Structure 1
Amino acid sequence: MKKLIIASNNKNKIKEIKEILDGLNIDVISLKEAGIDIEVEETGDTFIENAYIKALEIFKLFKEDNYMVLADDSGLSVEALGGQPGIYSARFAGEHGNDKKNNEKLLNMMKDVENRKGKFICAMVLIIDENNTIKVQGEVEGVIGYEEKGIHGFGYDPLFCYPEYNMTFGEMEGNLKNNISHRRRALNELEKKIKEYFQGE
């Protein structure tokens, strides 16, 4: 069985990725489970660049062990804000990972804005070995709400309304969100490319 390390310390992301990849013949472990405590600085200008930076740093640590490394970078892009918060989604309000403050800042900036269109973006980079890297991106479009709704998910989920279901991601149970999310769409693309790669070996 191939082993894959998720290059993240975000327990919510790790849980979602593990749930979505469940069923593939891949042993998925987190950095913590691999005994690694490291925060890779995200210096890229795009989600893909940041995902690659993270994947490469972790791959260097494990390349002798024949591990594949998967990294993702994701966030919210709001049309009326010129794509903000974008790659700064996790630290939009200044403090990394403070969901409440990030959501408050977004609501304040959107106070008198009529165009509420937004999308979640998830970029994923899988380094299979030194010569083979797969890059994919998934997106899901929605509408930014006027208040937080729901107790599930994390980040901007309580503000991100998915019109088809008339619910925010925060109101959705994990399985429902995982079937339609930007992360699911990125992983679907990744799964296709993984199968193509291994069939071509």
Structure 2
Amino acid sequence: MELVFATHNPNKIREIQQVLPPHITLLTLEDIGCRTEIPETADSLEGNALLKASFVLENYGYPCFADDTGLEVDALDGAPGVFSARYAGTPKNEAANTEKLLKELQGKTNRQARFTTVIALCYGDETYLFRGEVEGEITEAPKGEKGFGYDPVFRPAGFDKTFAELTLEEKNQISHRARAVAELLEHLGKKQYKN
């Protein structure tokens, strides 16, 4: 079966391709000729994921899933949350986002945080939501060269390395996105969609 993943982020595409079974062909927005920056104007992760997935289904006719991910930091009352990708303003800038986060956490002893991913699947007239979370903490300084976004400053619970120090395989064992994708794949296996 063919499924579109509504993202322009090559890092996310690489992560998802690692865990998809061979009978699912992953199409990117580039593959279907969608070069539009799909608006993410909702005030929740669920809302943004639904906006992106439904946009592709309505405008291109492909079954589609999309994700939205947020980093929630306890000492910042859950910020940056739904605004994680544009925390330091627009356009998106990963380094500036991380710098702002570390600056706002200066002097704070509680560095507990979690990554949450919500995946929306739009298939025909059906819509489903899947959720994955991973607990951890924000480090004092960035560590590691792998990963993307806030990965260099997020140390998952039970690990002594940040996401950016883990291999893609290691990260895919525990990450928020991998957990949400596992729920998506379980659903797809039960429904036996064909296209």
Shorter chain as denominator, the TM-score bin is over 0.9
Q: Which residue matches 1:20? A: 19
What are the ranges of 5 or more consecutive residues in structure 2 without an aligned counterpart? none
- The residue identity in structure 1 corresponding to 2:76 is L
Contact 1:75 1:85 (8 Å CA) reproduced: yes
Paired residue secondary structure (1:94): coil
Moved over 3 A (4+): none
The 1-side partners of 2:190 and 2:41 are apart by 31
Alignment of 1:1-201 (within 5 A): 2-21=1-20, 23-63=21-61, 67-130=62-125, 132-198=126-192
CA displacement, residues 162-188 of structure 1 (integer Å, 9 cap, x when unaligned): 231211001011111111100000011
| Worse-superposed segment, 186-195 or 150-159 | 186-195
Contact 2:32 2:60 (8 Å CA) reproduced: no
Give how far 1:43 is off. 1.4
TM-score using structure 2 length:
0.95
The 1-side partners of 2:183 and 2:13 are apart by 18
The 2-side partners of 1:46 and 1:192 are apart by 24
Give how far 1:94 is off. 0.7
The 2-side partners of 1:47 and 1:83 are apart by 13
Contact 2:116 2:176 (8 Å CA) reproduced: yes
Give how far 1:158 is off. 0.3
Paired residue secondary structure (2:83): helix
- The residue identity in structure 1 corresponding to 2:109 is E
Give how far 1:133 is off. 1.5
Paired residue secondary structure (2:145): coil
- The residue identity in structure 2 corresponding to 1:16 is E
TM-score using structure 1 length:
0.92
What are the ranges of 5 or more consecutive residues in structure 1 without an aligned counterpart? none
- The residue identity in structure 2 corresponding to 1:189 is E
Contact 1:90 1:96 (8 Å CA) reproduced: no
CA RMSD of aligned residues (A): 1.2
